[in-house]
Amino acid sequence: MYIRRVTRKNKDGTTVAYLQLAHNEWDPKAKYAKAKVIYSFGREDEVDRAVLERLAKSISRFLSPEQAWEIETLTGEVSDDFQFQSSKRLGGAWLLDQLWRQLGLGEILHSLFASRHHQIPLERLIFAMVANRALHPSSKLAMEEWVEKDVHIPHLPQVASHQLYRAMDELLAVQPELERQVFHAVADLLNLEVDLIYFDTTSSYFEVDPSETPEGESLRKQGFSKDKRPDLVQIVIGLAVTREGVPIRAWVWPGNTMDMTVIKQVKQDLIGWKLGRVISVMDRGFSSEENLRILQQAGGHYIVGEKMRSGKAAVEEALNRRGRYQQVRENLHIKEIIVGDGEARQRYVLVYNPSEAERQRKEREKLLESLKEELEGLRQLPNEAHHKATCRLRSHPSYGKYLRQLKDGTLRIDKQAVREAEKYDGKYLIRTSDDTLSAEDVALGYKQLVDIEQAFRTLKSTLELRPMYHRLEDRIRAHVLLSWLALLLVRIVEIRTHESWPKVRDECERLMLGHFSSKNGDLYQRTELTAKQAQLFAALGMEPPPKILGIHPRP
């Protein structure tokens, strides 16, 4: 049903228009729809406009707020003192919230907290902290202003920092079941391949001097820092990701934990998820014989990097075994090597990258040229200065390995050490316990460890995991758990859109929500979608926010 305008031309050449209320009816004989006039309002120039406005208002009672507001605008019912009050960033939080719902994370949290009968919206508070990590990392106190004034979090107009801390405590209490349910929900939705599980560790420091930590501190410890901050206390974080780069679980250990000691716990935790056939892919830091035996428990297998200078007899034999390389990819040549027989049999894959070998050769040549200049300069120094410079060169991390000292104390370039280094250019050695995988699959599977390195970079840089300022152990663990959930959302966005998260975030954050008000009420309307924003929402399989998010008429 609609109002139509029809015109008629008079004999004197003038045109007269009429307004009619009509609707279309199908004519089976003519085989097309014809307009049927229900009521005629008369000549357009004689129609009482107030009658049409009253009709429009009566109809608007049965329309959505958005449609009603549009009608009021057209009929002039909206006040002239319509004012723009404020704006908030909308697109990034909306995108993350829609993905949060797609993955069922909200439902999982609601079910886990169902028996706790809290008065605060725990699920919304947890989502807000996860979104904050992904969009604008800040302290819990700073989040109060961020939520109230800067960003639109669906169904959460404001927060208090004490509520956020309470939500962190409650989140940690359900961590084991949360991790299990989140993994299975994500695996089912994304059809993840979990036959290869990649694992690695990193460290994250605190801006706290070691002398300021209380006695009996069990988590924040000094240890080997992968952030190059050995002067600060830290924790060790473990991360397991799938071959698609999706993080499925995170662990937290004391800062002085060694990589070799964590494999048993990781294996036991993943066995509890009953993943079936799992091949663990790990770097050289985890390749102790004890760890490899643990990884083979419950029918599991491993692909691990092997230290080529470990001194192991089997490794030396594998490196010295003659044979041709097989090229499987550009700059990827492989050679399969079997060492030993029976139960002592060990399967290796030696990988050679010609491009990397050339790069390492050029770097070494440049280093040796610089070293020659340093040795020439030694001759010009007096005795004490000469001795100090000699000690400095011998202890230098790059120069020292290419130097030898004669009986008279003179330093010379060690040509044997140079030849030894040339043997390893562009090569790395992989060991596996799975005989069903081809050598190519072993090499490519290990090569994908770069995904977990990218995940750690995202955690530390984009999500600003470090430095941490929490003091209580439970809060530290909850902080890492929230960062893991944020990383999960971020990586899924990157996989689906084939764009980096910073690019997606920056584009979506340009989608704003405006607050307009008049004496008739308040309107919340978003800015127009750009083509890029529409493309991103489509790639993620979600609807963009509606043009009007809310209308609140005043009584």
Cis-peptide into 467, omega within 30 deg: yes
Residue 249: strand pairing partners: 240
Assess if residue 247 is contained within a domain.
yes
Of 402, 423, 444, the residue at which a domain comes to its end is 423
Residue length, the chain? 555
Assess if residue 10 is contained within a domain.
yes
Per the listing, tokens 């584009």 go with: 507
Nearest to 134 by CA among 166, 186, 92, 98: 92
Nearest to 481 by CA among 237, 266, 274: 237
Instruction: Give yes or no: residues 323 and 452 share one domain.
Output: yes
Q: What is the pLDDT of residue 47?
A: 82
Instruction: Give yes or no: residues 411 and 442 share one domain.
Output: no
Instruction: Give yes or no: residues 213 and 338 share one domain.
Output: yes
Of 15, 46, 75, the residue at which a domain comes to its end is 75
Q: What is the pLDDT of residue 131?
A: 97
Instruction: Give yes or no: residues 290 and 433 share one domain.
Output: yes
Assess if residue 82 is contained within a domain.
no
Q: How far apart are CA 105 and CA 97, in angstroms?
A: 10
The token duo for 42 is 């008369």
Angle at 480 between CA 474 and CA 485, to 5 degrees: 125
Assess if residue 366 is contained within a domain.
yes
Residue 182: exposure state from Cβ atoms within 10 A (0-12, 13-18, ≥19): buried
What are the C-alpha distances in Å from 329 to residues 282, 318, 325, 352?
A: 22, 22, 12, 11
Assess if residue 153 is contained within a domain.
yes
* 461 dihedral zone (left: phi>0; alpha: psi -120 to 50; beta): alpha
Q: How far apart are CA 442 and CA 511, in angstroms?
A: 44
Angle at 336 between CA 332 and CA 341, to 5 degrees: 165
Q: How many domains does the chain contain in total?
A: 5
Number of other CB atoms surrounding residue 33 within 10 Å: 11
What CA dihedral angle connects 89, 95, 97 and 101, to 10 degrees?
170
- Cβ neighbours for 255, distance < 8 A, ≥ 6 positions apart: 203, 219, 220, 221, 222, 223, 233, 234, 235, 236
Q: What is the pLDDT of residue 43?
A: 85
Assess if residue 481 is contained within a domain.
no
Q: CATH number for the domain including 219?
A: 3.90.350.10
| Sign of the alpha-carbon dihedral angle for 30, 32, 36, 42 | negative
Assess if residue 506 is contained within a domain.
no
Instruction: Give yes or no: residues 64 and 206 share one domain.
Output: no
Q: What is the pLDDT of residue 454?
A: 80
- pLDDT tens digits, one per residue of 161-177: 999 999 999 999 999 99
Q: What is the pLDDT of residue 182?
A: 92
Q: What is the pLDDT of residue 11?
A: 81
Instruction: Give yes or no: residues 162 and 310 share one domain.
Output: no
What are the C-alpha distances in Å from 419 to residues 56, 189, 416, 422?
A: 90, 53, 5, 5
Instruction: Give yes or no: residues 349 and 383 share one domain.
Output: no
Q: How far apart are CA 213 and CA 44, in angstroms?
A: 84
Q: What is the span of the domain harbouring residue 378?
A: 356-423
Instruction: Give yes or no: residues 276 and 395 share one domain.
Output: no
Residue ranges of the chain with per-residue pLDDT less than 50: 79-80
Assess if residue 490 is contained within a domain.
no
| Sign of the alpha-carbon dihedral angle for 324, 330, 332, 334 | negative
Instruction: Give yes or no: residues 230 and 282 share one domain.
Output: yes
The token duo for 445 is 């599977």
**Chain centroid to CA 23: how far?**
53
Residue 315: exposure state from Cβ atoms within 10 A (0-12, 13-18, ≥19): buried
Q: What is the pLDDT of residue 66?
A: 57
Instruction: Give yes or no: residues 259 and 331 share one domain.
Output: yes
Of 75, 110, 132, the residue at which a domain comes to its end is 75
Q: What is the pLDDT of residue 363?
A: 94
Q: What is the pLDDT of residue 67?
A: 63
What are the C-alpha distances in Å from 116 to residues 109, 139, 179, 249?
A: 11, 26, 19, 25
SS (H, E, C) 333-351: EEEEEEECCHHHCEEEEEE
Instruction: Give yes or no: residues 460 and 318 share one domain.
Output: yes
Instruction: Give yes or no: residues 306 and 441 share one domain.
Output: yes
Q: What is the pLDDT of residue 277?
A: 64
- Residues 441, 279: contact at Cβ < 8 Å? no
